[in-house]
Amino acid sequence: MKCCFDTEMLLLNDDVKRIADLGFKEDFFSVKSGGFNSLRNNGGRCIFHDGDKCTIYSDRPLGCRLYPVIFEVESNSPVMDKMCPFNMEFSFSFKVRNKLSKLYHRLIYEREARV
């Protein structure tokens, strides 16, 4: 999937813990930038993408689960990622938008708690 290439996927503390509980060291899969934890890229793709599929699919981060709905900071709202070639195949329901808004606000809260 294109969504797994050059990812900038932010991670909740729960995402980091869940992935670490699988046996991965945090510095293997996570990078810190601007007070956030993000998935690491390797060779231009998510560290967990093997070139064919996600190797932690059932334990993937919440942001990955909600993609291609993303939070657009400029409009302060969830939007469908226009770059995703499959975006028309996904739901843009109120429930999904609400989950993404909560995710975004939780990420901001967690970043502020780390400072």
Taking only the tens place, the pLDDT of each residue in 34-93 is 999 999 999 999 999 998 999 999 999 999 999 999 888 888 888 888 888 888 888 788
Listed by start position, the domains of the chain span 2-114
Token pair, residue 112, equals 């502020």
In order of 23, 63, 109, the CA distances from 86 in angstroms are: 32, 16, 31
DSSP 8-state class, residue 5: B
- Cα 115 from Cα 80, distance rounded (Å): 31
Answer positive or negative: Cα dihedral of 22, 26, 28, 30: positive
Residue 91 is predicted with a pLDDT of: 79
Q: Is the pLDDT of residue 115 over 80?
A: no
pTM (two decimals): 0.88
- Cα 90 from Cα 64, distance rounded (Å): 13
